[in-house]
Amino acid sequence: MKISTGLPMSAKSIDVVMLTKNSNKWYFRRVLAAIKREIPVHHFIVVDGYSTDGTIDVIREFFGNRVVVIKTDAPLGGARYIGMKAVDTEWFAFIDSDVEILPGWFKQALKYMENRKIWGIQGGFSGRSETRDILLKSPRLYFSLHVILRHGIVKFYGADTSYVILRRCVVDLVDPYTFYHLDCGEDAYIAWKIVESGHLYVKTSKMLARHYAMPRLALVKSFYRSIRRNGIFYAVPYSEYTLSNLIRLLTSFYRRDVFTALTYLINIMGSAISYLRTKRTLLSTKLLKT
């Protein structure tokens, strides 16, 4: 699906894809202002879940005729897939409606975009420590028992589509049926497909963002997502996922981080359902291909 509005195309301009559903919160204008300040936007593609709070009107205030709106009630993976198919620049950015990218975000990404081997570039959230760039090269590389005990699976599971720059051709790597039906873990699924294809996914602390999600809301989302189809189970054995979450649960309790500990506890309790749902989706995919 190609979109043409007659706008001049710059070699450095990129499409921005944002998923929205009644996203017009107190911080929303800050999120949009940051995108306008930091990114040379070609098209602003909004995949909207039928918002009724003026979300689309606010976006048009900032980006005018660059805005392309696609209405859908598709699941999370489906909404992202629809947005990816609408992109018509070599690179594009997924920016969530509650994530404010900080000064220098896109400028730092440019040097990575010049490397033909890199197909994904992700920053970090302000206040969280990432001491160096991490190149994800293999879906299995970071899942030895030693690494799990020391780090959990954060080095890989930390792939995050809420603030990431991807090559447009990444959409050709994912299985449409599988990706469309994911309710969570679609970020990890994209990263795995990139490295499985022989390319690189970079995580760097040089591109920072601020996340406005509230802890209590995160718990609600964690409960919902823990029982839905999770893309992480396409590459990580259930036993490793559970072991990692258990270690991070104990670590959070030790640090007296109650909300984070509850999140991991919910993941452990609901992940069996999520795992079975994901396996059912995978089986359906195989049956469709035969």
Helix or strand holding residue 111 (H, E):
helix 105-113
Taking a C-beta distance cutoff of 8 angstroms, is the pair 108, 208 a contact?
A: no
How open is the CA angle 118-69-104, to the nearest 5 degrees? 40
Q: Tell me, what amino acid is at 177?
A: Y
Taking a C-beta distance cutoff of 8 angstroms, is the pair 182, 284 a contact?
A: no
In angstroms, the CA 46 to CA 131 distance is 33
CA 143, 145, 149, 155: dihedral to nearest 10 degrees?
-10
pLDDT higher than 60, residue 44: yes
Name the phi and psi angles at 162, rounded to 5.
-75, -15
Q: Tell me, what amino acid is at 259?
A: F
pLDDT-based confidence at residue 264 (cuts at 50, 70, 90): confident
Residue boundaries of the structural domains of the chain: 14-212, 218-289
pLDDT higher than 80, residue 225: no
Mind listing the pLDDT tens digit for each residue in 127-138? 544 434 444 544
pLDDT-based confidence at residue 99 (cuts at 50, 70, 90): very high
User: pTM for the full model?
Assistant: 0.84
Taking a C-beta distance cutoff of 8 angstroms, is the pair 149, 249 a contact?
A: no
Cβ neighbours of 1 (radius 10 Å): 9
Coil, helix or strand for 197? Answer: coil
Cβ neighbours of 248 (radius 10 Å): 22
Taking a C-beta distance cutoff of 8 angstroms, is the pair 187, 201 a contact?
A: no
How open is the CA angle 206-215-104, to the nearest 5 degrees? 20
In angstroms, the CA 231 to CA 278 distance is 7
Supply the CATH classification number for the domain 14-212.
3.90.550.10
pLDDT-based confidence at residue 73 (cuts at 50, 70, 90): very high
Percent of the chain clearing pLDDT 90 (strictly above): 43
- 4: exposed, middle or buried (C-beta count within 10 Å: 0-12, 13-18, 19+)? exposed
Taking a C-beta distance cutoff of 8 angstroms, is the pair 96, 163 a contact?
A: yes
pLDDT higher than 50, residue 196: yes
pLDDT higher than 60, residue 149: no
- 185: exposed, middle or buried (C-beta count within 10 Å: 0-12, 13-18, 19+)? buried
